[in-house]
């Protein structure tokens, strides 16, 4: 048996709420079991299916690691001059794999430059015990069942985090994605009221801020 890991994220694109990154560790022989359960890319599953599999996976995997990346941490990275969201995701992947220590890891790559992304990961992990091979691909969560398992846990935790925000502040903002009309309306009305839930480095957020400024200037 070989210990393998899958790493994926959920909530990369929203203007509201955290990004969640997850790594799962299993024995390679258990891939057959995951497939028999219907484990696949979380985007291809209903919320009910994801919730069911989420509970099954947590009980079955040998280990899993969760990194909840707050809007503030994302903003700090994007407002800086030496990084971007891809490298932030890479750094979280490195943290996850250092904890899991698989022999082989299957990683969903957010960057268009897969070679550079993989090289960055390999260099950071070259002295990490046990890790022998990184498989870094676009849509790994759709190709490798262990990465699919990570995507299901990440998506479920991200949705739970969104529900926590709605309950904490007693608000409704839809999915948190800029394309969601409810999110767009909420952002325009409340961008100053709940600053800690927004990613202020997002274009959709800065556009609202700039639009409000221009409107105020036009009043004079």
CATH for 48: 3.30.420.10
Looking at the structure, tell me whether residues 14 and 119 fall in a common domain.
yes
Looking at the structure, tell me whether residues 79 and 14 fall in a common domain.
yes
* Domain CATH for 211: 1.10.10.460
What beta strand segments (E) does 109-196 contain? 133-137
Distance in angstroms (rounded) separating the CA atoms of residues 54 and 52: 5
Count of domains forming the chain: 2
Distance in angstroms (rounded) separating the CA atoms of residues 194 and 165: 10
Looking at the structure, tell me whether residues 8 and 65 fall in a common domain.
yes
Closest by CA position to 146, among listed 89, 67, 64: 64
Report pLDDT for 125: 97
Looking at the structure, tell me whether residues 148 and 183 fall in a common domain.
no
Looking at the structure, tell me whether residues 25 and 114 fall in a common domain.
yes
Considering only the C-alpha atoms of the chain, give the largest distance between any 2 of them, rounded to a whole number of Å.
Answer: 72
Domain range for 67 = 3-166
Looking at the structure, tell me whether residues 148 and 210 fall in a common domain.
no
**Local confidence pLDDT in tens for the 220 residues of the chain:** 999 999 999 999 999 999 999 999 999 999 999 999 999 999 999 999 999 999 999 999 999 999 999 999 999 999 988 889 999 999 999 999 999 999 999 999 999 999 999 999 999 999 998 999 999 999 999 999 999 999 999 999 999 999 999 999 999 999 999 999 999 999 999 999 998 999 999 999 999 999 877 665 555 4
Looking at the structure, tell me whether residues 108 and 176 fall in a common domain.
no
Looking at the structure, tell me whether residues 56 and 37 fall in a common domain.
yes
Looking at the structure, tell me whether residues 94 and 150 fall in a common domain.
yes
Looking at the structure, tell me whether residues 111 and 180 fall in a common domain.
no
Report pLDDT for 172: 97
Residues 6+ away with beta carbon under 8 Å from 103: 2, 3, 4, 130, 131, 132, 133
Looking at the structure, tell me whether residues 153 and 193 fall in a common domain.
no
Report pLDDT for 219: 54
């Amino acid at each position: 048996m070989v210990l393998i890991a899958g790493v994926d994220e959920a909530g990369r694109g929203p203007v509201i709420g955290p990004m969640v990154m997850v790594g799962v560790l299993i024995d390679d022989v258990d891939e057959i079991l995951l497939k028999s359960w219907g484990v696949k890319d979380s985007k291809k599953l209903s919320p009910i299916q994801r919730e069911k599999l989420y509970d099954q996976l947590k009980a079955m995997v040998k280990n899993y690691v969760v990194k909840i990346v707050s809007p503030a941490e994302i903003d700090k990275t994007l407002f800086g001059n030496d990084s971007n969201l891809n490298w932030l995701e890479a750094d979280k992947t490195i943290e996850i794999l250092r904890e899991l220590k698989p022999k082989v890891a299957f990683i969903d790559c957010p960057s268009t430059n897969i070679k550079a992304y993989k090289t960055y990961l390999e260099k950071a992990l070259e002295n990490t015990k046990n890790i022998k091979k990184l498989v870094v691909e676009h849509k790994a969560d759709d190709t490798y069942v262990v990465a699919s398992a990570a995507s299901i846990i990440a998506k479920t935790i991200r949705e739970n985090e969104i529900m926590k925000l709605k309950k904490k502040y007693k608000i409704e903002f839809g999915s948190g994605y800029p394309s969601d009309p409810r999110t767009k309306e909420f952002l325009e009305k409340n961008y100053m009221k709940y600053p800690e839930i927004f990613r202020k480095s997002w274009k959709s957020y800065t556009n609202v801020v700039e639009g409000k400024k221009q409107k105020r200037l036009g009043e004079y």
